[in-house]
Amino acid sequence: MPIQIDFTGASSRPTYTPLPEGTYDAKILEVKQAMSKANKPKLTFTFGQVPGYEKRLFWRDWSLQPQALWNLKQFLTRLGIEVSDGEFEIEPDELVGLPCQLVLSVKDNWKGETDDSGKVIQENEVEDVLAPSDGQSMGW
């Protein structure tokens, strides 16, 4: 039996107004190991719970290539994790819930996707992740 659906007024893609550029309190919601498009290992972090924008999610990848590990080490150190030289083990579940600050910018959608009016969709990009603000360490 066919199902009748009325798409009148439905957008072809949900659009969200990006948050203004700036620094926002956030938490780590998920950490997953994955492979990049170039088939190189990476860690993908999902961030959220930004005050006033609790349902918005943001992502940032860290390459696990030797020449890029300095960036991940810097990030983990900012979270208060003591990173030793040599072999180091990360338990992703132990990172979930840690507070941090996201430095967000606003950029055109990297695919050049447009909204229903033909305007290029703008999105937030995580430029950097900083140590938690003073208020976060006490209240979270």
What CATH number is attached to the domain comprising 51?
2.40.50
Task: Evaluate whether residue 40 is within a structural domain.
Answer: yes
5: in domain: no
Residue pLDDT, tens place only, 97-109: 999 999 999 998 8
How high is the pLDDT of residue 140?
38
pLDDT the model gives residue 139? 40
Q: Which domain covers residue 54, as residue numbers?
A: 22-83+94-139
User: Residue 50 falls within a domain, yes or no?
Assistant: yes
Average pLDDT over residues 130-138: 78
Residue 63 to residues 36, 38, 60, 134, Cα–Cα distance (Å): 8, 11, 10, 29
pTM: 0.82
Q: What is the pLDDT averaged over residues 112-134?
A: 87
Q: Is residue 4 part of a domain?
A: no
Q: Percentage of the chain with pLDDT > 90?
A: 66
Answer whether residue 3 is part of any domain: no
| pLDDT for the residue numbered 117 | 79
What mean pLDDT do residues 83-98 have?
Answer: 91
Q: Is residue 8, in this structure, part of any structural domain at all?
A: no
For strands 99-108 and 58-63, give the pairing: unpaired
Residue 28: predicted pLDDT: 97
**54 domain residue, yes or no:** yes
Domain count, the chain: 1
Which pLDDT does position 14 carry in this prediction?
Answer: 62
Kindly report the number of other CB atoms within 10 A of residue 29's CB atom. 16
Question: Is position 120 within any domain?
Answer: yes
